[in-house]
Chain A
């Protein structure tokens, strides 16, 4: 009952009466404080990490070829195809340890397209043409070294790296 009264009162104030200085000050502080509160709550429970990786120009290599994050972190990974000359497409596929070869072999049958439902796969950035940038998000798994690679047929043998997930 009280809540209903209060809500209706607020509505009335905002809708009809002119705003006092005190209310204007409280109102202007409320939004940033609320947003700050929200972000604090999120970061205390789950640390966000931004990672960037790109192809070594047109060469079959990642730059860098090693990444690190903490277990449980919400990872925002951005991949950039830095090629200029070749029409070869690249992507970024993160898999569980010792699964790279098998996933890569299967990807030969699908022109490198990886199913996100594949239980061996942790995260996938879709295929990029030269100059394109794509992003993926995932929760960093348990502490270990996880291989990543490009699933374009024939690329993984050269174009691969390691994500170190630490405590």
Chain B
């Protein structure tokens, strides 16, 4: 009994150390600025998807998908010098995210109901957040932050 507890304690310690080590390893990224830029671009394009759907500008959605694949490529380039294991984990989740946004694009060609597309968009955002989870918290862009521009009507956002 005592021995089992000891083993469990050791296993818990190892798990704790590994959980801490993940973000620390990620914090030592070779090109942190490029990674931050690529992650911000993914969020920017995702928000553009949302905007085009809300405005019922469905014809623009495939163009947004193209830009999403370009942002994904920017992330691949930004992590090209990272360890293979990390790159593989990012690639798996990134592919899933790109596929989720492609589904929105495919649906947009015959879409008339923005609510259906918005429901798919919510799923795609979840897939994108799974990519972000692989990076340190301070690298993850906040999709709820106001845009960097001045906003509609010339009011500068804070």
Known A153-B52, A154-B55: A101·B70 in contact at CB below 8 Å: no
**CA–CA, A144 and B117, complex, Å:** 42
- A-contacting residues, B131-158, CB 8 Å: 147-154, 156
Q: Which A residues are in CB contact (< 8 Å) with B153? A: 100-101
Tell yes or no: A79 within 8 A of B by CB: no
Q: Judge if B93 is at the interface, Cβ distance under 8 Å.
A: no
Given contacts A57-B37, A60-B44, A108-B57, contact A85 B148 (CB under 8 A): no
Judged by a CB distance under 8 angstroms, whether A61 is at the interface is yes
Task: Give the residues in chain A near B151, CB-CB below 8 Å.
Answer: 157-158, 160
User: A157 vs B151: C-alpha distance in the bound complex, in angstroms?
Assistant: 5
A59 to B48 alpha-carbon distance, docked (Å): 12
- In angstroms, how far is the closest chain B Cβ from the Cβ of A88? 6
With A58-B41, A147-B154 known as contacts, the answer to whether A160 contacts B70 (CB < 8 A) is no
**Interfacial residues of chain B within 16-68, with CB under 8 A of chain A in the complex:** 37-38, 40-41, 44-45, 48, 51-52, 55, 57, 60, 66-67
Within the complex, the shortest CB–CB distance from B45 to chain A, in Å, comes to 7
> A101–B67 Cα gap in the complex (Å)?
24
Tell which of B38, B57, B74, B154 touches A153, judged by Cβ atoms closer than 8 Å.
B57
Interface string of A101-134 (1 = CB under 8 A from B): 1000000100000000000000000000000000
Whether, in the assembled complex, B73 has its beta carbon less than 8 Å from a beta carbon of chain A, the answer is yes
Q: Whole-angstrom distance between the alpha carbons of A57 and B147 in the complex?
A: 15
A82-107 near B? 1/0 per residue, CB < 8 Å = 00111110000000000011000000
The size of the chain A interface, using a CB distance under 8 A, is 27
**C-alpha gap A56/B40 in the complex (Å):** 12
- Taking the nearest CB of chain B, how far is it from the CB of A91, in angstroms? 15
CA distance A88 to B44 in the complex (A): 12
- Of B40, B45, B70, B149, most buried by chain A (CB within 10 Å of CB) is B149
Please tell me if B71 contacts chain A, counting CB pairs below 8 Å: yes
Q: Inside 8 A of A59's CB, which chain B residues have their CB? A: 40-41, 44, 148
Beyond A59-B41, A158-B151, A160-B152, 5 additional pairs, beta carbon < 8 A: A57-B37, A61-B149, A85-B70, A158-B147, A158-B149
